[in-house]
Structure 1
Amino acid sequence: MEKTMPEVNAEFGAAPVVAFPGEQPPAGLRVVELVEGDGPVVRPGDTVTVNYHGVVWGGSTPFDSSFDRHSPASFGIGVGQVIKGWDRTVPGHNVGSRLVVSIPPEYGYGSRGVPQAGIGGTDTLVFVIDIVSTR
C-alpha cells in the first residue's frame, strides 16, 4: 500500500482498524482499493449500499460508522447526494471491494467542517468503505 495512506485491515466486512503513517495526510484526494470485489461495477447515478467508517486524519474515534450501527447506508453516488470525495472515488469500483479514501476539506465538508461531529475546516477525512451492492 502507499506509504502516505493509512493502514487498514483488508478483510471485507470486518470492523475497520485504521493506523496512520504520520501526522500529515497525503495531498489531494486519494483512494486505495484494499480488496477488489468481483461484483458489478458502481457507476455514477447508481444507488449504492455501503458500510463505512469515517475518522479525522490522526484520530482514533470515528465521527460516523455504519459498522458501529450494524446498518449499511444507501444513497445515490456521483449525483451530489454525498460529499465530493465519495462521488469521485466510489464509482468505478466493484461490489465486494474495500476502499480506503483520504479526503481533503475541499472534497469533504469545506472550510466550515462539521463542528458538532468534531470535523474542523482543515481536517482531512479518512473513510474505509465496503461496497455491499449497487443498482
Structure 2
Amino acid sequence: MSERTQQNRSAEQDQSPATKSGRRLAAQLAAKKAADAKRRRNAWLSGIAAVVVAGGLIAVFVMIGGGDDKPKSQADATPSASAPAPDAPDAAPPAPQLPADADPALGSKPTVTPGTGNLTKLTVTPLIKGKGPAVQKGQNITTNYVGVFYKDGKEFDSSWKGGQPASFAIGVGQVIPGWDQGLVGVTVGSRVQLDIPTDLAFGKDAASKGQPEGPLRFVVDVLAAQ
C-alpha cells in the first residue's frame, strides 16, 4: 500500500461521525471547565471584596466609639433604684399590707416586755381589737409576730426582721399548741399577746432540738384569714 493511500484513509477516519462526536464532547468539557474556573475566580474575588468592606466598617465603628469622650448621663452613673448604693445604710423592712380600717399601729413593730410570775396556763391579752371577721379553725392566716422568752424578754424570733409576714393554717397542728388555741376566735386586724406555758410551746426538751425553751411570750398581729 502506497503512502498516499494510507494518508487518504487517515483523513477519512478523521471525518467519520464517531471522531466528530468525540471532538464536540471534548470541546464541551473544555468549555465547562473554563466556565467553572471563571465562577470560582469570581466568587473568590467577591469574598475578598466583602472582607475589605467589613473591615472598613469595623474601623469606622471603632473610631466613632473611641472618640466619644462625653461624660455619662446622671442616669447611667446612678445605681438602679432597685439596689441601694454600696455605702447606703440598710433600708427598713417595708410596712405590711394592713386590712381595711386597721389600726395604723399594726404597721410598726411592737415592743415586747418580759412577763412576771410563774406562767402555768395560756393567756391571751388583746392589745388592739380588729374590726374584721373572727379567725376560724382550719383557715390560713397571715400574721406579723415577735417572740421573746417570757422570763427575760429576750427576743428569739420575729417576722419583722425580713419584712415578710408569716402565713400558715391555724388549729391543725402546723404551729405550736399555744398558737393553735390562742388565735382561733381572734378578729382580723387585731394585735394580741400570747403568754404560752412550756407544755403548749416547744416542750421540755426544746433545747435539745434547737428550739426556744421554757414559757414564751408572743405579740401577734392578725392581718388576714382565709
Aligned length: 122
Q: Distance in 1 between matches of 2:131 and 2:144?
A: 17
Deviation for aligned residue 1:68:
1.8
* 1:107 pairs with one of 200, 207, 210: 200
TM-score, normalised by the number of residues in structure 2? 0.51
CA gap of 1:44–1:114, structure 2 versus 1, over 3 A, is farther
Deviation for aligned residue 1:13:
2.9
Of structures 1 and 2, the one scoring higher in RCO (CA 8 A, sep 6+) is 1
* 2:145 pairs with one of 19, 29, 52: 52
**Runs of 4+ more than 6 Å apart:** none
Check conservation: 2:146, 2:160, Cα contact below 8 A. Answer: yes
* 1:68 pairs with one of 133, 142, 161: 161
Q: What's the C-alpha RMSD, in Å, of the aligned pairs?
A: 1.8
Determine the structure 2 residue equivalent to 1:3. Answer: none
* 1:30 pairs with one of 123, 132, 152: 123
Q: Distance in 2 between matches of 1:25 and 1:66?
A: 27
Tell me if 1:42 matches 2:138. Answer: no
Gaps of 5+ in 1: 1-10
Bigger-Rg structure (1/2): 2
Deviation for aligned residue 1:21:
5.0
Q: Distance in 2 between matches of 1:104 and 1:60?
A: 14
CA gap of 1:25–1:130, structure 2 versus 1, over 3 A, is farther
* 2:113 pairs with one of 10, 19, 29: 19
Determine the structure 1 residue equivalent to 2:10. Answer: none
Q: Distance in 2 between matches of 1:124 and 1:48?
A: 24
Determine the structure 1 residue equivalent to 2:184. Answer: 91
TM-score, normalised by the number of residues in structure 1? 0.82
SS at match of 1:19: coil
Determine the structure 2 residue equivalent to 1:133. Answer: 224
Percentage of pairs with the same residue:
38
Q: Distance in 2 between matches of 1:64 and 1:131?
A: 17
Check conservation: 2:182, 2:194, Cα contact below 8 A. Answer: yes
Check conservation: 2:119, 2:196, Cα contact below 8 A. Answer: no
